[in-house]
Structure 1
Amino acid sequence: MASKFHRSILVTGGTANLGYQCTINLARRYPDYQIVIASRSDPDSSAESINRLLSQKNVKFLQLDLSSLAQVRSFAVEWEANQFPPIYSLVFNAALQFPGDVQYTDAGFEKTFAISHIGHALLFSLLRPHLADTARVVIVSSGTHDPAQKSGLPDAYYSSAEEIAHPKGDALKNNGRQRYATAKLTNVLYTYALHRRFEAINKKTGKHWTIAAFDPGLMPGTGLARDATGFERFLWLKVLPKIMPLLRLLFSPNVHTAEYSGQMLARLVTGSDEEIGSGKYYEENRQIKSSDASYDKDKQEDLWKWTVKTLAKNDSEMSLFDLKDLL
């Protein structure tokens, strides 16, 4: 049966905060698109809430746990079963921070990296055949990936994808926030690696696939600190949201509400090619330079090759995930 929607958009982590606000803007802008929000759970019935707010029926929730490769694969099967229209945009927003000791997924990957990068990379690889001929991928990174921004987090450090996924030796002692900053660096590395491949695919096939990375800024009050200590959560949820003007003055102007950053994130999906450059990094509505390390092509290719080799189950998937069927 033909869908009543023309295209679809997927937003991971779209049930709250940044992703939720982004989804409101996208659903309002594209009432004739199927907007899917995906998260581990939706206790506040976010999809229904957005539909009521906009008096529309184009937002749907699907369960997705990015820390589980099996569940990511199940999600892709469910996507096909729903027969959603071709994908106009993938918004990879979901992320978690684990401030304490190293935590691992069931598959043995460091959990911050697994959620921010590995799960999203597998999701892209499985859903890529469903991309419309004109499509845009947007990956939410963070200014914490760039030591030059002096975010207050330990500096991101990319050794190799394998060492980030399976830390050993001194790396096991790294602060959880350092692992978060590094995971956000991998988001930018992956963006640039995928952009080069999109350029080649577009030239060969006539498709128009673009990709951009986004720094939403510091957003006190969001769910990022859910695994922090009780006192840290109190500061993050109760104190800092009330002193945002002071934070902008003393810490950084890049401090925003989730509503504002959600609008800026949605802009990267809805903006024209003249407004949004592929393979670029954005803060608010401005294209800016990302970290020096993020432009290292050796690091980009190490991440790309490790990701494909790790996630592909067989030769057929290896070719699919490496985009060789289009290159």
Structure 2
Amino acid sequence: MSDLGRSILITGGTSGLGYQCALELARQCPEARILIASRSDTNSAAASINKALGQTNVQYLPLDLSNLDNVRAFAAEYAEGKYPKIQALVLNAGLQFPNGVTYTKDGVESTFAINHVGHALLFHLLRPHLAEKARIVITASGTHDPAQKSGLPDAEYTTAEELAHPSPQSAKNSGRQRYATSKLCNVMWTYALDKRLIAAAARGEERYTVNAFDPGLMPGTDLVREASAVLRWIWNNVMPRMIPLLRRFVHPNIHSPEESGIALARLAVGEDVAGVSGAYFEGTKKINSSVESHVVEKQEDLWHWTVKHVARDEEELRTFDSL
């Protein structure tokens, strides 16, 4: 691969929304190194994009967000690989577990671990590699907001500790509810990070931006790959053909992965949103997120629990928490 001048890194870019975003980023930024970080690349996403565009700037890097040791190994390999500075960090990967509670190798509830904790550690470890005016974009979801009436159980944030290690009572919550709550965490962490980035810029440090993104409902993506065979078949074979009808009669925020991928890429590289930070976007529109997402006490609980959990020692804790 040629020595390109900047990197754009996207997690979960091997299929669905992430793939379409990576494709659009590669199309718009042929001079950038597009890095797709995911647990596996069984679809040969990077090679497929390179072939489709006649380019060589897309590369796959293995990353398992459910394993904090693997996230650390990834960051170390990134530093050793002498990649260009990261102009955009798209924290997109997400998963839901519709059945009983599952836990990662680190002993954290899997939905919360993959959708939030692993991404938070990845950001902190890659922060030294961010370029001037870098953008961080976090894929959230309208399911975090009860007012959206998405059909999922309402998100409910008590404490980060409760989400990481559910009590016997909260362990009874459905996997779909845990997913909605993890998306609420994505939005709250966006706001908590933005506040700290503003403070860091006031101290003379580089000003980065961070925004949250709702791609809408996207039938045909891998989001329900842990669901039953019947539901997966309907999701992958029936609903994608009905998007215009679903958008008209069910909810307007239903899109194809291609449409949402372009909207996500815009937040990463679009000139019209340069400098925008601390915002929540539904597709291309900046809108208000849920009432609960703006509760500062909950944002701070999530922030402080997260840095304490992912830091391996006191020195790293101070570094992560010093934003």
TM-score under structure 1 normalisation? Answer: 0.96
Distance 1:233 1:53 in 2: 28
Q: Which residue of 2 aligns with 1:99?
A: 98
Counterpart secondary structure, 1:205: coil
Q: Which residue of 1 aligns with 2:142?
A: 143
Q: For structure 1, which runs of at least 5 residues remain unmatched after alignment?
A: none
Q: Which residue of 2 aligns with 1:290?
A: 289
Residue identity opposite 1:289 in structure 2: N
User: Quick check: 1:117–1:183 contact (8 Å CA) kept in 2?
Assistant: yes
> Deviation per CA, 1:224-282, whole angstroms, max 9, x where unpaired?
01000111111111111111112112210111000010000000011236566200000
Distance 2:231 2:45 in 1: 26
Identity %: 56
Q: Which residue of 2 aligns with 1:300?
A: 299
More off after superposition, 265-274 vs 81-90 = 265-274
Q: Which residue of 1 aligns with 2:119?
A: 120
Distance 2:272 2:235 in 1: 36
Q: 1:208 offset after TM fit, Å? A: 2.5
User: Quick check: 2:139–2:212 contact (8 Å CA) kept in 1?
Assistant: yes
User: Quick check: 2:97–2:111 contact (8 Å CA) kept in 1?
Assistant: yes
User: Quick check: 1:4–1:32 contact (8 Å CA) kept in 2?
Assistant: no
> Deviation per CA, 1:286-323, whole angstroms, max 9, x where unpaired?
0000000000110000000000111111112112211x
Q: Which residue of 2 aligns with 1:271?
A: 270
Counterpart secondary structure, 2:208: strand
Residue identity opposite 2:106 in structure 1: A
Change (3 A) 1:279 1:157: same
Change (3 A) 1:51 1:99: same
Distance 2:84 2:76 in 1: 14
Pair 1:25 & 2:24 matched: yes
Q: For structure 2, which runs of at least 5 residues remain unmatched after alignment?
A: none
Q: 1:115 offset after TM fit, Å? A: 0.3
Q: After TM superposition, what 4+ stretches of structure 1 lie above 6 angstroms from structure 2?
A: none
Distance 1:106 1:126 in 2: 20
Distance 2:27 2:301 in 1: 39
Residue identity opposite 2:315 in structure 1: S
Counterpart secondary structure, 1:11: strand
User: Quick check: 2:209–2:275 contact (8 Å CA) kept in 1?
Assistant: no
Q: Which residue of 2 aligns with 1:311?
A: 310
Q: Which residue of 2 aligns with 1:75?
A: 74
Distance 2:91 2:230 in 1: 29
User: Quick check: 1:92–1:139 contact (8 Å CA) kept in 2?
Assistant: yes
Q: 1:59 offset after TM fit, Å? A: 0.7
Q: 1:206 offset after TM fit, Å? A: 4.8
More off after superposition, 266-275 vs 213-222 = 266-275
Counterpart secondary structure, 1:237: helix
Q: 1:33 offset after TM fit, Å? A: 1.2
Distance 2:275 2:249 in 1: 30
Q: Which residue of 1 aligns with 2:176?
A: 177
Q: 1:127 offset after TM fit, Å? A: 0.5
Distance 2:198 2:188 in 1: 16
Distance 2:143 2:162 in 1: 20
Give the length in aligned residue pairs.
322
> Deviation per CA, 1:143-169, whole angstroms, max 9, x where unpaired?
000000000000000000000000012
User: Quick check: 2:267–2:273 contact (8 Å CA) kept in 1?
Assistant: no
More off after superposition, 14-23 vs 268-277 = 268-277
Q: Which residue of 1 aligns with 2:157?
A: 158
Residue identity opposite 2:49 in structure 1: I
Q: 1:207 offset after TM fit, Å? A: 1.6
Q: Which residue of 2 aligns with 1:210?
A: 209
Residue identity opposite 1:22 in structure 2: C
Q: Which residue of 1 aligns with 2:130?
A: 131
> Deviation per CA, 1:166-185, whole angstroms, max 9, x where unpaired?
00121011010000000000
User: Quick check: 1:69–1:119 contact (8 Å CA) kept in 2?
Assistant: yes
Q: Which residue of 1 aligns with 2:9?
A: 10
Distance 1:31 1:315 in 2: 41
Counterpart secondary structure, 1:32: coil
Residue identity opposite 2:307 in structure 1: V
Q: Which residue of 1 aligns with 2:222?
A: 223
Change (3 A) 1:274 1:49: closer
Distance 1:74 1:4 in 2: 23
Q: 1:203 offset after TM fit, Å? A: 2.1
For residues 239-250 of structure 1, the aligned pairs below 5 Å read 239-250=238-249
Residue identity opposite 2:171 in structure 1: L
Residue identity opposite 1:30 in structure 2: C
Distance 1:82 1:103 in 2: 34
Q: Which residue of 2 aligns with 1:49?
A: 48
Residue identity opposite 2:34 in structure 1: I
User: Quick check: 1:268–1:276 contact (8 Å CA) kept in 2?
Assistant: no
More off after superposition, 98-107 vs 241-250 = 241-250
Residue identity opposite 1:223 in structure 2: D
Residue identity opposite 2:260 in structure 1: S
Distance 1:304 1:272 in 2: 30
